[in-house]
Chains A and B, each alone.
Chain A
Amino acid sequence: MERPQTGSVIDGFTLVERLASGAMSTLWRTTHPEHPGELVMKVPILDPGADVSMIVGFETEVMIHKRLSGPHVPRFVAAGDLARVPYIAMGFVAGTSLAKTIIAQAPLPVAEVVRIGIALAVALIDLHRQKVVHLDLKPQNVMMTPAGAVLIDFGLSRHAELPDLLGEESSAPIGTAAYIAPEQVLGERNDPASDIFALGCILYQMVTGEEPFGRPATLPGMKRRLYHAPSPPRSVRPDTPAWLEEIILRCLEVDRSRRYADAAKVAFDLRHPDQVVVARHRRSAAPPSLAHRLLTLFQKRDEAEILGPSANRRRQAGPSIILAAVDLSGEHDRLAEAILAETKRLLDAREDSWLACLTVLRTEILRETRSVDEQGRSVYINRLVALKDWARPLHLPEDRVSYHVIEAVSAADAILNYTEHNDIDHIVLGARSSSAVRRHLGSISSKVVAEARCSVSVVRIKGSATT
């Protein structure tokens, strides 16, 4: 095709203005009479003799972008026939490139790092839910908008249900040296945990102003991250909170059995710093001793072994974050026991699943019941004690469980809000049987079942729901 220029018309799209463009493609502001709204067109630069991986990358981008939707990707509008006029037309994203923010302002204030980190994790949750791993997550590919993060450029991405034409083209690592995950360096291209590693690199960079692994230009340089941990963020920037360092280093774990498997858990931890358990043992950042280096030399551990199993296995085994909502307002309760048993079955499905225990302190609408007063505080503490006692038989380590006593007028709304805000995968709650209580409480489960946007297990004592 002819070189696009201002005023060119391609398949009905008029090129209005050339925007900032890269070496691989030009970007144009464009309009189309049948597609309202501000549009952008990306036209690859495919000169004769262009490397075949450029063409395949663009083919991949079209294939994947057209299957994506939602607020965290540019709206796909149209793609040109690759053999005739290759282009992608998409909605304009009104926002700021995260790269600009980082270049201008990093190191960023902790609150800002957390805000951006949550937005990125939320965008990844949505992308991974659509069966796509980005595989080139970096500040240049993130647009920050008032509504959240928008991920762009799917030229290196992988869709779990489509052929990986790009990956099949080359055995060389495909990604950006500063952010590429260790398993990607070794050619693995199907693990959402790779994006979580890149997210860890971005968090590290926002906190410290430095890229954790630099920008190695060679394969051995990129492989270094399999064996050498970056300097801990607190050694670069001492006022980094320990919990934030913990989150970043868990994103950067080389062994995927220790890395976050789900972006939802990263978002959760960033939102609940008080729930983050700081690990005592970490890979040492100090240069390895001579003895250690000799040992490594003789052990010659298999690289795949260092990486651990793909996080996909854990992701498929069961829900990542489970919410157990239990009513502890009464005396010893068979229903609470049954909820506990059901919760245990769900937790057992996945070794790194995580449980939020929630109980609701009902507040009357008209009466002021604030927990700060003497009596209210003791009610709150008593309920928290009861909640921990309820969960005790699960014998969960502290990094797999959290406890929440929430004051609310409507228990169902409290459960639904918590679920929505924390990307809960599965709710367990009980349904009462006796008609007197059920008028108040039975409706909780039906409302939660009707409105929750995840799976809900409703536990009932067998044979008791007759009234």
Chain B
Amino acid sequence: MRIAVLTDLHANREATEAVLAAVERLAPDRIVLLGDLVGYGPDPAFAVEAAERLVADGAICLLGNHDEAAIHGPSGMTPHAHDAILWTREQLSPAHLAFLAKLPLSAELPGMLLVHASARSPAQWPYVTSEKAAAECLAAAAAPLVLCGHTHVPVIYYALPGRMPVSFTPLEHVAAPLSAIRRHVVVVGAVGQPRDGNPAACFALLDTDRAEISMIRVPYDMQETARKIREYGLPDWLALRLQIGR
């Protein structure tokens, strides 16, 4: 089975459209969205509606911390994220919010757990940015593979029983092998706000038959997204960071 894994769309319409066009060309068997449809970006209504259409066609969509903040109001967020969520709440209709409110924190597919942040206390949104955090994530899951997002930086953790996981930054477009004797945490890069230094949108293609996962990068018109961020009065840094991928 081939699964397209999209995460952290962050209301970036241009990135989402470019990624969905690439996904269509790859014709995967399944699409999963790991959360954070909204927040930061200028097109939250578009992002929610795009997710609704994908879910209607059989996609799995999870809740992210920004989606939760859009529903309940921001708490404990950085100032820029906080300001953007307040603006986002004004853009979403009750129907949009109702869709977000029904999203689950995690989901399972055969041999894998899907979660936005980490399998360890998903509702607290911890970041998997270290071997230790990856080990804690795996300890809280039963499946051999955990797919998550949240950090906006693609990385794969390879774990053998009783040993600290090994981290690996997958190269773009080069399939990384998954091992039959290991468990893995795959942190998928962001569609709508990459932070690994490459501003191109990121998603993953998982091939369970070949036991491989590829990080696929899609360039998009980020100047247009940045222009809208500035036009709507969102924090300027949110426009700038799209263009440097940080």
Contacts and interface: CB of A to CB of B under 8 A. Distances in A.
Contacts of B53: none
B172 to A, nearest CB: 10
B176 A83 contact: no
Contacts of A81: 180
Interface in B148-176: 156, 158, 160, 163, 166, 168, 171, 174, 176
A163 B160 contact: no
A454 interface: no
A165 B159 CA distance: 10
A169 B156 CA distance: 16
B176 A82 contact: no
A48 B176 CA distance: 28
Contacts of A163: 156, 158, 166, 168, 176
Given A82-B180, A83-B181, A161 B174 contact: yes
A162 interface: yes
Contact of B181 (A59, A161, A162): A59
Contacts of A59: 179, 181
A19 B119 CA distance: 48
Interface in B166-198: 166, 168, 171, 174, 176-177, 179-181
A52 B181 CA distance: 11
Interface string A126-161: 000000000000000000000000000000000001
Contacts of A83: 180-181
A162 B176 contact: yes
Nearest to B156: A163
Nearest to A55: B181
A398 interface: no
A63 B168 CA distance: 15
Contacts of A55: 160, 181
A52 B159 CA distance: 12
A169 B177 CA distance: 17
Contacts of A56: 160
Contact of A52 (B158, B160, B179): B160
A141 to B, nearest CB: 23
Contacts of B176: 162-163
Interface in A259-281: none
Interface in A42-90: 52, 55-56, 59, 63, 81-84
A82 B148 CA distance: 25
A115 to B, nearest CB: 37
A161 B171 contact: yes
A168 interface: yes
Given A52-B163, A163-B168, A63 B177 contact: yes
Nearest to A46: B181
A161 B171 CA distance: 7
B156 to A, nearest CB: 7
A383 B7 CA distance: 66
Contacts of B181: 55, 59, 82-83
A165 B158 contact: yes
Nearest to A166: B166
Interface in B191-218: none
Contacts of A52: 160, 163
A161 B166 CA distance: 15
B154 to A, nearest CB: 13
Contacts of A63: 177, 179
A165 B171 CA distance: 16
B163 to A, nearest CB: 7
Contacts of B156: 163
Contacts of B180: 81-84
A168 B177 contact: no
Given A52-B160, A163-B158, A165-B158, A82 B179 contact: yes
For the complex of A and B, the 4 pairs showing the least CB-CB separation, nearest first, are A163-B168, A168-B166, A83-B180, A82-B180
24 contacts: A52-B160, A52-B163, A55-B160, A55-B181, A56-B160, A59-B179, A63-B177, A63-B179, A81-B180, A82-B180, A82-B181, A83-B180, A83-B181, A161-B171, A162-B168, A162-B176, A162-B177, A163-B158, A163-B166, A163-B168, A163-B176, A165-B166, A165-B179, A168-B166
Interface of A: 52, 55-56, 59, 63, 81-84, 161-163, 165, 168-169
Given A82-B180, A165-B158, 14 more contacts: A52-B160, A52-B163, A55-B160, A55-B181, A59-B181, A63-B177, A81-B180, A82-B179, A161-B171, A161-B174, A162-B176, A162-B177, A163-B168, A169-B166
